[in-house]
Structures are given as C-alpha cells and as structure tokens.
Amino acid sequence: MADSDKTKRPTLGIKPDAEAPSARTRAPVRGRHVPRDHSKPLPKLAADKAAEAKSGKERPKAGRPESAEGGNERRRPRPPGSVQARPEPREQPEAQAPSSHDKRAPYAERPRTVNVEHFFVSCPRGLEAELVRELAELGVTDARPAAGGAAFLGDLQLAWRVNLWSRLAIRVLWRVAEGRYRSEDDLYSSARELDWPRLFDVSRTLAVTTLAHKSPLKSLNFASLKIKDAVCDGFRASVGERPSVDTHTPDVPLVLYLTADRYTLYLDLSGEPLNRRGFRIEPATAPINENLAAGILRLAGWSPEQPLYDPMMGGGTFLIEAAMMALNIAPGLNHHFAFEKLGSFDMVEWQRLRKGAEAAQHEREPLAIYGSDNDPLMVRAAGLNLQAAGLLDCVVLREADFLQVDAPPGPGLVVSNPPYGVRLSLADMASFYKDMGDTLKKRYAGWTAAFISADPEFPKLIGLSANRRTPLYNGPLECRLYSYRLVSGSNRG
C-alpha cells in the first residue's frame, strides 16, 4: 500500500495524539474516550484512583500496562492512520487486480474472492485428451474430456487465460444455465429467469446459435428465437429497452446445446474461433486448421529443440504453429474476444495477462524449422503468411521437390498434410505415396514422421509400418494421423 493511501485510512472517530486533549480534561478509561463533565464530582472509585495516581501507588489494570507515573501521563503516539477500534465487518467485494485509480485504502490485504464457474472448451475431434493436457499446463486443475472438447471449473480470469494461450481450442464457452426441457416454452422460461443486464449492457448486440443431438424439437431456429425473446424481454423488464440482434458479428454470442431431454445455454467468451490466428493472408489448397496443426505437433511428440521439416508446406501452417511454440508466443495476442464486451470484464486484470504473455515471448531468432513446396505459388503464400506472423526470418523456405532434395540438418520430425483426393489422380497418388516411402527410408533414417491423410489407401501405398494411427477431423473431414519411426533399411510394410 502506498504512503499516500495510508494517510487516507479512516480512523473511526479517533484523532491522532497530536490533537488529543490533555489528561487534565480526560480520564484514561477503557474503550471510547468521553469528555468529563466538570460540573459533577468524580465517582468515588475514580476519585480513589486519582488519589493513588498522585501518590504513585496506582496499580495498572490487568491486561493493559499503565505508566509508572499514573493516569496523567500523555498516551503513547500511534502511527498516523492507525485505528484502535475494530472496523465493522463488511461484505468482501469480488476479487479484482489492484488499480492505481482505486482510492480505497483497505485495512489489510483482502483475499481474492473466486467465483467458480462452469466452462466448456471445444476443439477438433480427436484432440480431446491432448486438450486436457494442455489445459493442465495452463493452470486448469480439473479438466475432463468430453466429445469435441473438455469441461472445467474455474473463475473467469482462468477462462480468459485459456482464450489467450490455448493452441488447440476452438471456443471457450461459459455455462450460464442448464436443465431439462420438453418444449420451446421450457427454454424460454429458463432463459427468462437469468439476470441478463448483469451479464452485459443493453447496448451490446447478440445472436443465438442452437446445436442439437437427438433433440425432439422440430425447428432449431425456433429454439434460437425463443432464447432471443427471453433475453430481450428480460432487458425490457429491467431497463425499459432491448438489445439488438446481429447474426454476423454479435458482441455477445449465445450458444444453446440440446440433447434428447436436456439443454445447456452458454455465453461464447471467444467470439471469433480461436484457430483463426489472423496470419492466413494467402490461403492454400486444402489447408489444415491451425489448432489441428498444433495438436498434431503435440501428438507427434515434437519439442522446439528438434528440427522440423514440412516438405509439402502449402500455406505454411505447420511452420507458423511450430515457430510460435518454439518462441512461446501466445496464439491469442492478436485476438479481440467476446468476453471484453461483458459486464464482468476487468480491463486491469486483462492487461496484466496480456503483458505477462508479451513478456514471456522469446526473442525472434533463426530456428531449425524448414519448409518446402514444389509449387512456387505455395512458397509465396507461406512467405506472406509467415511475414504476417512476424516469423519470416525464423524459418527457412525453399522451392523444392521433396523427392529430389536431401534432408535438412537433423534428425528431427517430418510433418505434413500430403495431397490426396481431387488434387491427384488415383494412379498419381499411388506412385507419389510409394516414392514418399522410398525417400523417407533412404534419406531420413533416425527421423520420425507424422502425416495426416483422409485417403484410406495412404498407409498401404506409402509402404511403411506406422507405429501409431490416431483418428482426427480436419473440419468435417475424417482423417488419420500416421506416425512412423524411420530407420534405414527397415519398417517397410
């Protein structure tokens, strides 16, 4: 606490000793000091004490040392701003980071009040277990995997941290209501009970998205409409006006999830999906999502100390995610989140989290991360995307055919999203995958390899024995991640 704050501390009516009246007009009694009425004689007990004090024989009261010179001694000074009486108990406010604009001077360091909330973090299917591990690294102590994500308990500041730092998440959802339902009217009644003006201001725009699994309702759009009506009716009853709807870029996105007999209503704290890092300036053919690329790097066991090579890099997504991991760059630093529009948003706490993330970054430096493509347009696209991320000088790019060039310095990890489907004919795919296997066996002994493919013929045509196959989804496309330990002259299927 600053000295300037200490001087403003309330004293509960007890003045500093510099202003205290002399002992001749005030008797030293316990508790509150009351001026003596000189028109009335002292009570007998007080008179006896005064006589004893003059003779130096006054005995101090038990539990409160008195001066050897008696009750006429001036009281010992207390530090400025100190208080003798105990302040009245008061309700603890919601925990906030200290602010330089806060003029209150608390009597003691007050513990932070943590409001435990329920959250759900969505991610690409197949990465649920890896997401739980990532959340544990971010300070979440009880994350539980679920279909398409993970659930956890914590305060809102922890949810902000997940938005800022998670490389695998798509959205962070705050659960504000749940229960059973049988009709749209049940959904309306439940949403109508919430104190919506406490959650966000009427000036904010909103939109409702409904997702369902085995729901008996005939129209999900009608379910969304009933939730919207409940929110607007709640505002009209409380503040006399209603918020507007913006289905494209709402300030406050709401998500309603329905099962056969239960509903869950969420506030979307992320807004724009977290996998949109803002660096995809030039798109590539059949790109891979950023959070899926980061998850593949984790599943492959890659660490920044290892060299990494993407020989079919396309727009450079693997390269950007690897470089951000190596330099400890928070993927959400360039984001604006939906939680910044809520009534619970604390700018001071959020700036503390952001500044901590900025300070945690490593200095930009050349990294053992390599990318190549035989299409010059893809080399250009990767360069532009890396430049937008501020990572162009950290990664080595070249226009080259993977089947014709030597391996970069290693060993390390070869990772890629090789072409398949409409990008190659069936005969071309069979020949290309076989050549890939031969190249890996001859030139990448000691390396590991991880390839994601939606082609069910890929593992047979590449001619290598995968030590691990992981089901994943690249958006709606079902894929497999094939992992290989490459040893010269072996692991041929």
> What CATH number should be reported for the domain holding residue 217?
3.30.2130.30
23 domain-assigned: no
Residue closest to 10 by CA, chosen among 72, 101, 94, 84:
84
Do residues 195 and 123 share a domain? yes
Number of domains into which the chain is organized? 2
344 domain-assigned: no
Do residues 303 and 244 share a domain? no
Per-residue confidence (pLDDT) for residue 40, from 0 to 100: 47
Do residues 134 and 188 share a domain? yes
430 domain-assigned: yes
Provide the whole-model pTM. Answer: 0.76
Do residues 233 and 323 share a domain? no
H/E stretch holding 267: strand 262-268
Q: Cβ distance 447 to 413 under 8 Å?
A: yes
Task: Name the token pair of 292.
Answer: 């899926």
Do residues 242 and 300 share a domain? no
298 domain-assigned: yes
Do residues 249 and 310 share a domain? no
Do residues 375 and 427 share a domain? yes
Do residues 302 and 245 share a domain? no
Low-confidence ranges of the chain (pLDDT < 70): 1-114, 421-425, 488-493
Per-residue confidence (pLDDT) for residue 425, from 0 to 100: 65
**Phi and psi based region of residue 194 (left: phi greater than 0; alpha: psi -120 to 50; beta: remaining):** beta
User: What is the per-residue pLDDT across 38-93, written as a single tens digit (0 to 9) for each?
Assistant: 444 444 444 444 445 545 544 444 443 333 333 443 333 333 333 333 334 334 33
CATH classification of the domain holding 444: 3.40.50.150
Residue closest to 402 by CA, chosen among 420, 418, 413:
418
Burial of residue 45 (number of CB atoms within 10 Å: 0-12, 13-18, 19+): exposed
> What are residue 267's DSSP bridge partners?
174, 254
Do residues 295 and 230 share a domain? no
Q: Residues, the chain, total? A: 493
Domain around 245 = 117-268
Do residues 263 and 301 share a domain? no
Per-residue confidence (pLDDT) for residue 17, from 0 to 100: 41
Q: Cβ distance 266 to 227 under 8 Å?
A: no
Which residues contact residue 102 at a Cβ distance below 8 angstroms, ignoring those fewer than 6 apart?
Answer: none
Do residues 256 and 304 share a domain? no
Per-residue confidence (pLDDT) for residue 183, from 0 to 100: 96
Do residues 207 and 305 share a domain? no
